[in-house]
């Protein structure tokens, strides 16, 4: 199977957009500050924009779409029609594992970061009593972005090596249709030899 440039372009583009969104989510993490209410009796947590949640979920969806396209084309390696055995197949399996491992790690970071970033502390505290405002810690979306890049590398190399060893079932059918072997040809000649000799005697 030859490498499809459109498929490769789709996978790379979706990964890169997801990476940019993950970086944007890291930079736009929600922050909160403790403010007093209008009566100065209670304090509460005031949060700013939830842009990181939107960016994180968008990156999650794009990365999922890219992985779906890639494994749909390669039949997720497990349902392939035929692979040439050898060193190239070993590398294909290795990059397949790298692609899936980094993909799952990136998705976990993006989803957990988006959920945590969307959570806002709901309770209030009496004025001058310490109030803890829950926020997403730094680095979660950054880890998702790094794993997205690793997933990109693993996915591209997996697709490239898979295209080199995928026979599409041709090798198997080719071997089945080779015809008679030299030994079969010799047996065929021996079966017809007595008939020729009898003809000559007549």
**Residue 15 belongs to what domain range?**
5-169
165 falls within a domain: yes
- 3 state DSSP class of 159: helix
The pLDDT score that the predictor gives to residue 149 is 97
Place of tokens 């500050």: 33
Q: Looking at the 3D structure of the chain, how many domains does it have?
A: 1
Radius of gyration, CA atoms only, the chain: 31
188 falls within a domain: no
Of 47-56, 118-127, 144-153, the range with the highest mean pLDDT is: 144-153
161 falls within a domain: yes
187 falls within a domain: no
The pLDDT score that the predictor gives to residue 166 is 67
45 falls within a domain: yes
72 falls within a domain: yes
The pLDDT score that the predictor gives to residue 140 is 95
Mean pLDDT value of segment 7-27? 96
Write out pLDDT tens, residues 109-123: 999 999 999 888 777
Taking the C-alpha atoms of residue 47 and residue 30, their distance in angstroms, rounded to an integer, is: 7
Between these two residues, 123 and 96, which has the higher pLDDT value?
96
pTM above threshold 0.85: no
Taking the C-alpha atoms of residue 91 and residue 42, their distance in angstroms, rounded to an integer, is: 61
Mean pLDDT value of segment 161-169? 72
10 falls within a domain: yes
115 falls within a domain: yes
Between these two residues, 141 and 182, which has the higher pLDDT value?
141
């Amino acid at each position: 199977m030859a490498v499809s440039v459109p498929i490769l372009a789709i996978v790379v583009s979706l990964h890169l957009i997801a990476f940019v969104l993950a970086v944007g989510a890291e930079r736009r993490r929600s922050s909160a500050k403790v403010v007093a209410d209008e009566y100065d009796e209670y304090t509460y947590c005031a949060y700013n924009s939830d842009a990181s949640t939107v960016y994180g979920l968008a990156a999650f969806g794009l990365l999922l779409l890219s992985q779906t396209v890639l494994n749909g084309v390669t039949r997720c390696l497990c349902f392939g029609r035929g692979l040439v055995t050898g060193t190239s197949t070993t590398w294909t399996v290795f990059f397949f594992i790298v692609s899936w491992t980094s993909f799952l790690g990136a998705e976990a970071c993006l989803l957990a970061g988006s959920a945590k970033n969307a959570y806002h502390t709901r309770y209030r505290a009496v004025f001058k009593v310490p109030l803890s405002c829950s926020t997403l810690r730094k680095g979660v979306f950054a880890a998702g972005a790094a794993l997205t890049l690793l997933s990109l590398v693993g996915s591209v190399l997996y697709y490239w090596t898979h295209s080199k060893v995928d026979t599409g079932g041709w090798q198997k059918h080719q071997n089945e249709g080779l015809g008679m072997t030299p030994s079969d040809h010799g047996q065929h000649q021996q079966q017809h030899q007595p008939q020729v000799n009898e003809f000559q005697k007549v």
